[in-house]
Amino acid sequence: MNKKVTVYSSPDCAYCYSVKGYLEKNGIEYEEIDIYEDEQAYERMVEFSGQKNVPVTVIGEEIIIGWDKEKFKEVLDI
Q: Is the pTM here over 0.75, yes or no? A: yes
Tens digit of each residue's pLDDT (9 = 90 or more) over 3-52? 899 999 999 999 999 999 999 999 999 999 999 999 999 999 999 999 99
Q: What own/partner pairs with CB < 8 Å and gap ≥ 24 does 48-57 have?
A: 54/8, 54/9, 54/10, 54/13, 54/15, 54/16, 55/7, 55/8, 55/9, 55/13, 55/15, 55/16, 55/19, 56/7, 56/8, 57/5, 57/6, 57/7, 57/8, 57/19, 57/30
pLDDT of residue 4: 95
